[in-house]
Structure 1
Amino acid sequence: MKENVKSFLYDYLTLKKRIFIIFLCSTLIPFICIVLISYYAIYSILTNKIQSGIQSNLKQVELSLESTISNLNHVSQQLAFAGSVGKKLDQMLSLPASQSFERSQMISELKDELSLVTFTNPNIGLTLYYFQNDHTYDLENSGVKENFSPEKLPLLAEYSGISYYGPHLSNNQFDNNFVLSARRKVDLPLRDDVYVYIETGFHLTQNILNNDQFGGTNFHVFLDNNGRIAFSELPDTFVKDTIFPSFSNEKTFGTYNEFYWFRQASNQGWSIVSVIPKADYNREMNQWFVQILLFSLLFLGMSLLMAWLLWKMVYLPLNGFNREIKLMAQNRVQTVTVRTKIPEFDFLLHQFRQMREQIWNLFAEVEQKEKRRVDLEVEKLLYQINPHFLMNTLDTVHWLAVMNGQNEIDRLVSSLNKLLHYNLGKLGQASTIYEEIEALKQYLILQQIRYDFKFDVQMNVDEEVWNMPVPRFILQPLVENSLYHGLSDDGYIKVDVSLTNAILISIHDNGSGMSEETIHNLLHNPETENKKVGMGIGLNYVKRMLESQYGDQADLSIKSVIGKGTTILVSLPIMEVKSRHD
């Protein structure tokens, strides 16, 4: 998966595309973050504003309706309880039909009383007495529509012996507005089916419902004490005489289909619900969103334009680089120096031209060195003739010594011949511990003959390391160093080669030892010790060889005590030794 992503980025995302993507991300991401933060902030502000406005308006409507219902209750009390109107109504109903004159005179007096009551309450409309058993009415203060029946009206609330209806169309034949009405039983000694019926005044209820400060389409739904829909301005969605969706006394806000609704409960238990289409509810927010979208498109266009200008600014210098590279490949030089008018790119072009000159100079130098290398190869072949001639001559001396019985000379020449054969090999080539030990033995034979004294050399080598690769010619210089630093006739040299996590080589002698200054010069300042014949050169070679072959993984250290001896410790990692060719 990761490889596929890398391949896609390499094959398809050119520099132009990457510049566009990076520039768009660097400009659009902060802008999008600001837009999102602004959107949620504005959304919260507008939502709180709209909801607060709707709830405030709904509260005002509820208070107005409560005031209206309270007024209906007050007027119904005047017309229903014992008093001048009640006494006259009782007297009128007790008169026999034969006393028509007295009856009509009393009806006229009752109408005057009713007119006085309605006059002092301008918010009261149709008023009459309703006889439930006969389904008749009397003493109405205005014309009544046919088929008048309070039982068919939508019941809003009922308590304390009074029933409230509405909103519903007025039963006044001269009024087609929505009204609220109340029906209260009149306590008469002769009849118990008499009720006073009162409606709100002309346009009162309609004015209350239309007192909307939201600014959009707003519908109203009235609920009775049990959540039943008594009146609905959206009868298709909120069906009359059904329970309001998700009704709960604690829930005052919700959504249903494509509407938001807000409920305000009255002190009497009935509720008024304001229903708003979601489109109107979100209209102001959508307007703000459209403005932000237009601004975003403008900002995107400006970002694309800036990205294109940035690309052009990079594209022209890249073309200049491309021409320079093509001319370099053709071994040509551009006659006219092109400038990009961008300091950084002009500096890079200048650096590139200097690099091109240096490369051409290096090509010429390599060509000369190649010619010199051929000459050195011929010279090297000539120099190789002398060592082979020397070895062949020593071999002849060896056989002459054998023929004449010169065993000491035979032993000397054989050891020298073997040692030369080993040491004349390429110094950088890998050898083994076994080969190093064998060459060291030949060297010690020569040294014992040369110094004409016997010294003890002890060699302890683990079998596991015999065939492990090591650099050629590292043991002999270390042992030679022990011989040069005060080894006496009764001296000894102990060579230990062991295997742990690395190849450990230890060369210990019981010579005169060395000072710390001498050790420091041998390891870090070999020129000082080189002034002494034969001292420091071989050790310096071993140190350089280990650094070349192993880097920091090998370690060479010297420990010495004056008068007691010296120990040289070498630690080699177990690895393949690099071969250094001449």
Structure 2
Amino acid sequence: MLTKRLNNVTFKNRIIFIFIISSLGPFICLGLTSFYTIDSIIGNKVEGALQSNLKQDLMSLENMLNNLNHVSQQLAYGGSTNRLIEQLEVENDPYERLRLNNEIRSELNNITFSNPNIGLLMYYAPDTGEYEFENFRVRGDFHPDRLPLMEEYPEITYYGPHLSYNGSINQYVFSIMRKVTLPDQNLYLYIETGRNALTTLFAPQNHKEGSRRLLLLDNEGQVAFSEVNEVFEERTPFPHREAAPSSGTSGGYFWSKEVSNQGWSLVSVVPQNEINQERNRWLLQIAGFFLLFLILAVFAAWLLWKMVYRPLDKFHREIKSLTQSEEREKEELTHIPEFDYLLYQTRSMKRKIWTLYDEIETKEKRRADLEVEKLLYQINPHFLMNTLDTVHWLAVMNGQKEIDKLVLSLNKLLYYNLGKMGETSTIGDEIEALKEYLQLQQIRYDFQFDVDIDVDENSLGLPSPRFLLQPMVENALYHGVSDDGYIYVGIALQEDSLQITIQDNGAGMSREIIAELLDEDTEDSDKVGMGIGMKYVKRILRASYGDEAKLNIRSEVGQGTVVSLRLPVTEEARAAADRLARERKATDGHELDDRFSPGVAHETASAAVSSMKPQWPAAKEE
């Protein structure tokens, strides 16, 4: 039942269905695959971006802290500054103390100017809570115990992001405190990062790119600094303190963590709704593309149907017009090269069919005319043949050998020439009939002429139209040959054709007469002396071979005439001729068959046929 329903689906609906499936199928598969992998794609994208930015931020922080550490080491362990501080501690002279104080500040300023990432720098005495040698004005009261502790070591302490004590800036900075190695003094060096050193990391939220926020974890996993204090409170443990996971989700945020070489960690967090917003945006885009592709696929299928339906309709009309000859010259096009080419081939086939029909009709008409025309010459043939037999026996009884020979040749010739149109004939039959005809003409004319017949033995069995050679030789005798005349009949078998040449050395003819003879439609062709015979030859060739047979006449006045025929030879005809030639050689290669008058001995017209070859070689060229 399903197969029957499918068979009833129209071509239009099939094209639309197949085109939509073929167009949208890959898109649907791609969409489903993308839907199941979008989470990992977006996750990898976000994680990769966070990790990349986080590594850069961590590298920047480590470089700044290393710079602070390097400067603190330079100032804390030995050096000219420590010596000056030792001298100041034991010096009592006010002037000398002022000089030493200025020299210490000059040394600190040189270090500050040579390190642009260094901000506030000063010495702090925890016993008294006082600070001195500061390079910038200090804001408010300095209390190191209030700073966010990031990591503490025996000789150095790192503090996380906090507002700078530098009175000239209002930014977040990192800072360190290192104990100075001075005898009999409890003194620490305090150094902050410089102006704009951490602007990109800890800028105000209204100036930050996107919604990425930072957390700073100490070595114990405690939140030392948080930009999302409502979720990740400072001085509280980070929810995922273990070292293995480097990313995850917590509190509605996606986080990514990087651990520094010193043990503290930097965490970047992004709200999950932002990631879901990107996924939802992708789903809306893919749905819009799907709808667009669906509309385009339906429209393209409709266009494809139109492009196919219109040419099919034209082909339908062309096929219907095959039976209507008055519509066979249409030149309407589809404007599609492939269909136009097929339409051209169809119309070409249609023209050839009608041309073939016209040719068959003309050929049948000509064949009918030939049969009627030949019937006109076959008036009571049996009576004529019986009369000639009676004359033959009277001549034998009265000893009239010349009359006997003449009647016998005439009887054979008439028997062959009056045969039916449908009967088969061969080149050998034509040659034998031609010899009988020449023997009669030798007796009839009072002038002498020679005839040379040169025949390829392999061509004797080839089929040939009946009464083909005699009209052309008769024209040569009547209109070309006089006393001491010469006629050459040559038959040569070539690869795919049979070449027949009739040549004489008579009076010749002009080009105008040749044109009239070859023009089948001229009304004056029958008035030319040789027009009747040539007209028969042309018509019998057209009826038997169509356009494959070629007839050519070359002549010059006073130089003679050459009539050339080229007949097509099929492989079957050649094989039959070869078989007949082998049979003739097996019996007697020189014996002539008696085919024309059963019961009557055949005599060769040796008096009419000479063994001479042409004396003018140009006469045999074609």
TM norm structure 2: 0.48
**Cα contact 2:507–2:558 (8 A) shared by 1:** yes
In structure 2, the partner of 1:111 is 129
Deviation at 1:514, TM superposition (A): 0.8
Amino acid at match of 1:141: D
Deviation at 1:530, TM superposition (A): 1.3
Q: Gapped runs of 5+ residues in structure 1?
A: 1-10, 33-49, 93-105, 128-138, 152-162, 171-177, 223-231, 240-258, 264-271, 325-365, 367-376, 578-582
Equivalent residues in 2 for 1:376-455 (5 A)?
386-427=380-421, 430-455=424-449
In structure 2, the partner of 1:16 is 12
Amino acid at match of 1:393: T
Amino acid at match of 1:538: G
Equivalent residues in 2 for 1:167-566 (5 A)?
186=180, 188=182, 207=202, 215=210, 236=244, 238=246, 283=279, 287-302=284-299, 386-427=380-421, 430-501=424-495, 502-524=497-519, 527-533=523-529, 535-566=530-561
Amino acid at match of 1:565: G
**How many Å separate the matches in 2 of 1:107 and 1:194?**
5
Counterparts in 2 of 1:449 and 1:21: CA distance versus 1, 3 Å: farther
**Cα contact 2:458–2:493 (8 A) shared by 1:** yes
Deviation at 1:118, TM superposition (A): 9.3
In structure 1, the partner of 2:326 is none
**How many Å separate the matches in 2 of 1:273 and 1:443?**
125
**How many Å separate the matches in 2 of 1:530 and 1:307?**
63
In structure 1, the partner of 2:562 is 567
**How many Å separate the matches in 2 of 1:304 and 1:562?**
76
What secondary structure, in the 3-state scheme, does the structure 2 residue paired with 1:431 have?
Answer: coil
**Cα contact 1:64–1:208 (8 A) shared by 2:** no
**How many Å separate the matches in 1 of 2:388 and 2:188?**
154
Report whether the alignment pairs 1:142 with 2:160. Answer: no
**How many Å separate the matches in 2 of 1:166 and 1:551?**
114
- What is the CA RMSD across the aligned residues, in angstroms? 6.4
**Cα contact 2:507–2:560 (8 A) shared by 1:** yes
**How many Å separate the matches in 1 of 2:397 and 2:89?**
179
What secondary structure, in the 3-state scheme, does the structure 2 residue paired with 1:298 have?
Answer: helix
**How many Å separate the matches in 1 of 2:502 and 2:190?**
130
Counterparts in 2 of 1:296 and 1:547: CA distance versus 1, 3 Å: same
**Cα contact 1:90–1:188 (8 A) shared by 2:** no
**Cα contact 1:76–1:198 (8 A) shared by 2:** yes
The C-alpha deviation readout for 1:155-192, integer Å capped at 9, x for no partner, is xxxxxxxx99898999xxxxxxx99565767454689x
**Cα contact 1:474–1:542 (8 A) shared by 2:** yes
What secondary structure, in the 3-state scheme, does the structure 2 residue paired with 1:473 have?
Answer: coil
Counterparts in 2 of 1:493 and 1:313: CA distance versus 1, 3 Å: closer
Deviation at 1:459, TM superposition (A): 0.5
Deviation at 1:112, TM superposition (A): 2.6
Amino acid at match of 1:531: K
Of stretches 512-521 and 558-567 in structure 1, the one that deviates more from structure 2 is 558-567
Q: Gapped runs of 5+ residues in structure 2?
A: 1-6, 28-45, 91-123, 164-171, 218-239, 248-253, 259-265, 321-360, 362-370, 574-622
**How many Å separate the matches in 1 of 2:376 and 2:507?**
44
The C-alpha deviation readout for 1:479-532, integer Å capped at 9, x for no partner, is 122112231122121111122333221111111111111111111255324114
**How many Å separate the matches in 2 of 1:166 and 1:445?**
143
What secondary structure, in the 3-state scheme, does the structure 1 residue paired with 2:131 have?
Answer: helix
Counting matched residue pairs gives 406
Amino acid at match of 1:446: L
Counterparts in 2 of 1:83 and 1:188: CA distance versus 1, 3 Å: same
Amino acid at match of 1:293: F
What secondary structure, in the 3-state scheme, does the structure 2 residue paired with 1:296 have?
Answer: helix
TM norm structure 1: 0.51
Deviation at 1:385, TM superposition (A): 8.6
Deviation at 1:149, TM superposition (A): 3.7
**Cα contact 1:436–1:472 (8 A) shared by 2:** yes
Deviation at 1:543, TM superposition (A): 2.4
The C-alpha deviation readout for 1:396-445, integer Å capped at 9, x for no partner, is 33333323333233222222222222223344655321111011112222
Deviation at 1:67, TM superposition (A): 10
Amino acid at match of 2:524: T
